[in-house]
Chain A
């Protein structure tokens, strides 16, 4: 188990380092950062001033090592636009994105677990097909479009929910539903597949033979085993949702990390973009590693040699 743990952690660290390198290279793609920062109307002298001020006149390797060294201590430098430390900007916006992500995940689980179980219990009936169709519809729904439609319907025509902002819990209802749509198909399918598999297994037959009630068999025996992969995938989905929330934050003007990144992209504020990419990647790696470890604890077969 210890060996497994060490191996997973090594991979996680290596992935983080690779993403760090990629994030750095990404912002240098345009060729000369100083020209981009100085803007289109800058003179040659202005560009030189910018180059000096941001330390862009140093060799690439020095710049990279400097950035990595600082990032390890949580210092991502200062934002060009906000003139404030990037780390505090991200820390300020993170609660909004996390609230949104968790709301989305909870909604997704509340919808997909019952749907998946229902579909499995009534396998190959009309109900099963309806559930599978729901999953397909969720998969095909463009999130930003669904967001706009909800805004028109519940925000404008019915006036039930606020259209934008982060003032109260009501602001998270529509964005949460939209975000949940991206996770519902995978979670529903996995719950259904897991339930069908565990319903066909020996221990379910034993439970039936013992004369246990249908509800008890379903919820106590089958669901408990089917839930293991679902919980793991839920963690992975949360990682994807945090990364994908940039579109939804923009639609609903939720000032989270995604919105910050979007603003910064438009303003050539590269330290912020670089840091957000890295932070989101690290959160994803942490979540998946956690899910793997949890799975290994629950199911010894997965620990491997």
Chain B
């Protein structure tokens, strides 16, 4: 892992297209998330048992008005999809903030102070990696009852490892550079050096990690909700939508295809954007 250097120019061809594609998806998802209450054509929670499992627009027998059809309780699928985007993005971003705070603090501390403190941080990372995330998250949610806040806290407490690893190794490299030595000589305090010299120089790496973590948190939330121990119903989390529609998937496959494609495309978009940022910052090095 090398420290960010200004090497990479503008990207051309396929890679540039991939980055823009990712950025576009993330942009659309952000708009859906922020303006969901105004974008939904119907109330995503309103049931209409007379209109159950209407088919989407590309299939025969489509009812105009419900572009993506309706679910098993007659709720408009497009509205639930948009609302689900809000939930996914909210979970992804908040989990990343929580895990980022924990991971970056630990990583920078270990990398900057070194010695015993660093040993402790490494030990914490090793321990964290040995804990089966899905299992522990499921158990905690089952014990304490499902809610968005709990989900964010538990995932945040479980997903800080990559932040810590990257913050630690980059801090170690920055720590020995000349401008840090200069700051020491100028009599700057430890805290000031950390905040003014170290953090800005490892920030680009952390941004790349953050994109990966948003994507990971979204996938995990979907998996937990799919297992029935994530976001509580009737909230239209994409994972929960797939779980609820599972009983109908053999007769109407589109009920699981639509939320699944949304989940896949959003995560792919975030990862493409993250890859693009990594190239832009010239920080491509970790596998």
Please tell me which one of the listed residues B123, B144, B267 contacts residue A30 in the complex, with CB atoms under 8 A apart.
B144
- Judged by a CB distance under 8 angstroms, whether A280 is at the interface is yes
Given A152-B253, A262-B138, are A15 and B130 also a contact pair (CB < 8 Å)? Answer: yes
Majority SS at the chain A contact face: helix
Residues on A with beta carbons closer than 8 Å to the beta carbon of B257: 149
Please tell me which one of the listed residues A156, A193, A261 contacts residue B250 in the complex, with CB atoms under 8 A apart.
A156
- Judged by a CB distance under 8 angstroms, whether B112 is at the interface is no
Residues on A with beta carbons closer than 8 Å to the beta carbon of B263: 142, 145
- Judged by a CB distance under 8 angstroms, whether B3 is at the interface is no
Docked-complex contact B242 and A144, CB < 8 angstroms:
yes
- Judged by a CB distance under 8 angstroms, whether B65 is at the interface is no
Docked-complex contact B132 and A280, CB < 8 angstroms:
yes
Closest to A284 in B: B130
Interface size of B by CB at 8 A reads 43
Residues on A with beta carbons closer than 8 Å to the beta carbon of B287: 186, 189-190, 193
Residues on B with beta carbons closer than 8 Å to the beta carbon of A239: 130
Could you mark each residue 137-153 of chain B with 1 if its beta carbon is under 8 Å from any beta carbon of chain A, else 0?
01110111000000000
- Judged by a CB distance under 8 angstroms, whether B264 is at the interface is yes
Q: Give the docked Cα–Cα distance between A22 and B127 (Å).
A: 10
Given A15-B123, A19-B127, A156-B250, are A26 and B267 also a contact pair (CB < 8 Å)? Answer: no
Residues on B with beta carbons closer than 8 Å to the beta carbon of A14: 123
Closest to B265 in A: A140
Docked-complex contact B123 and A26, CB < 8 angstroms:
no
Q: Give the docked Cα–Cα distance between A247 and B134 (Å).
A: 8
Please tell me which one of the listed residues B127, B139, B226, B271 contacts residue A144 in the complex, with CB atoms under 8 A apart.
B226
Q: Give the docked Cα–Cα distance between A137 and B144 (Å).
A: 34
Q: Give the docked Cα–Cα distance between A145 and B129 (Å).
A: 25
Docked-complex contact B256 and A145, CB < 8 angstroms:
yes
Residues on B with beta carbons closer than 8 Å to the beta carbon of A209: none
CB proximity to B under 8 Å, residues A140-155: 140-145, 148-149, 152
Chain A min CB distance to B147 (Å)? 14
Closest to A279 in B: B132
Q: Give the docked Cα–Cα distance between A193 and B249 (Å).
A: 40
Q: Give the docked Cα–Cα distance between A93 and B139 (Å).
A: 19
Docked-complex contact A136 and B268, CB < 8 angstroms:
yes
Could you mark each residue 244-255 of chain A with 1 if its beta carbon is under 8 Å from any beta carbon of chain B, else 0?
101100100000
CB proximity to B under 8 Å, residues A250-281: 250, 258, 261-262, 265-266, 268, 273, 276-277, 280-281
Could you mark each residue 24-55 of chain B with 1 if its beta carbon is under 8 Å from any beta carbon of chain A, else 0?
00000000000000000000000000000000
Chain A min CB distance to B248 (Å)? 11
Docked-complex contact A145 and B260, CB < 8 angstroms:
yes
- Judged by a CB distance under 8 angstroms, whether A166 is at the interface is no
Given A136-B271, A273-B139, A276-B135, are A141 and B264 also a contact pair (CB < 8 Å)? Answer: yes
Closest to A267 in B: B142
Closest to A30 in B: B143
Docked-complex contact A129 and B272, CB < 8 angstroms:
no
Given A140-B264, A152-B249, are A265 and B127 also a contact pair (CB < 8 Å)? Answer: no
- Judged by a CB distance under 8 angstroms, whether A243 is at the interface is yes
Residues on A with beta carbons closer than 8 Å to the beta carbon of B219: 140, 142
- Judged by a CB distance under 8 angstroms, whether A225 is at the interface is no
Docked-complex contact A243 and B132, CB < 8 angstroms:
yes
Chain A min CB distance to B208 (Å)? 14
Docked-complex contact B134 and A244, CB < 8 angstroms:
yes
Docked-complex contact B246 and A148, CB < 8 angstroms:
yes
Residues on A with beta carbons closer than 8 Å to the beta carbon of B264: 140-142, 145
CB proximity to A under 8 Å, residues B213-238: 215, 219, 222-223, 226-227, 229
Could you mark each residue 225-254 of chain A with 1 if its beta carbon is under 8 Å from any beta carbon of chain B, else 0?
000000000000001001110110010000
Docked-complex contact B129 and A284, CB < 8 angstroms:
yes
Docked-complex contact A140 and B132, CB < 8 angstroms:
no
Residues on A with beta carbons closer than 8 Å to the beta carbon of B222: 142, 144-145
Q: List 8 A-B contacts (CB under 8 A).
A: A15-B123, A136-B271, A144-B223, A148-B249, A148-B256, A156-B250, A273-B135, A281-B132
17 further A-B pairs in the complex, CB-CB below 8 A; given A144-B239, A277-B132, A277-B135: A11-B126, A14-B123, A136-B271, A140-B271, A142-B222, A142-B239, A148-B242, A149-B256, A190-B287, A193-B287, A244-B132, A246-B134, A261-B135, A277-B131, A281-B130, A288-B126, A288-B130
Which 3 pairs across A and B sit closest by C-beta, in order of nearness?
A243-B132, A140-B268, A145-B260
